[in-house]
Structure 1
């Protein structure tokens, strides 16, 4: 499990397995999956806070981030506002 989407898929698969009347998942296993998932979710909350503090500069790839480029109406690509802000912060750090 490397992304929030994969975690979400895994949790929904666990719910589906719990509800399977023919072969339900053992309750202890489902509880363990839920507990481990909560730890992962809590680490994602820390990542969100770090991204907020750094302006999105720091990311692990677990959570999706803004696209590197945006496309204008004429089809040309340009930097996203987030990338521009990152570049400006980098320039300010280099000047300091």
Structure 2
């Protein structure tokens, strides 16, 4: 799995937030804005990747959009452990 994935982006954004909140040595706002802009572009490109996967019917997945931890489905229900069912709600 690639080291650069959505979890990496999330961690960098959280680190940037912590640096902005540091009262002793805060990050410059312009630099934080640049980090957020780059992250936004990465997330937008991931959305395009997901749309492509859906449109093409590809089943290979994505190197960028990897779950932090794969939770196997329960064989009996096909749902992750702890999830017993899915209820669909509709507005009336």
Same-fold status (TM-score > 0.5): yes
Per the normalisation by structure 1, the TM-score is 0.62
Once the two structures are TM-superposed, the CA of residue 71 in structure 1 deviates from its matched residue by 7.7
Number of residue pairs matched by the alignment? 72
Once the two structures are superposed, the pairs formed by residues 1-80 of structure 1 within 5 Å of their partners are: 2-64=4-66, 72=75
Structure with more relative contact order (C-alpha pairs < 8 Å, separation 6 or more): 2
Per the normalisation by structure 2, the TM-score is 0.65
Once residues 50 and 18 of structure 2 are traced to their aligned partners in structure 1, the CA distance between those partners, rounded to angstroms, is: 29
Once the two structures are TM-superposed, the CA of residue 70 in structure 1 deviates from its matched residue by 6.5
**CA shift digits 1:18-63 (9 cap, x unpaired):** 0010110011100110111111010010011112123342544000
Once residues 23 and 32 of structure 2 are traced to their aligned partners in structure 1, the CA distance between those partners, rounded to angstroms, is: 15
Kept in 2, the 8 Å contact 1:11–1:34? The answer is: yes
Once residues 56 and 6 of structure 1 are traced to their aligned partners in structure 2, the CA distance between those partners, rounded to angstroms, is: 24
Question: Partner residue of 1:93?
Answer: none
Once residues 72 and 58 of structure 1 are traced to their aligned partners in structure 2, the CA distance between those partners, rounded to angstroms, is: 22
Which one has the bigger strand percentage? 1
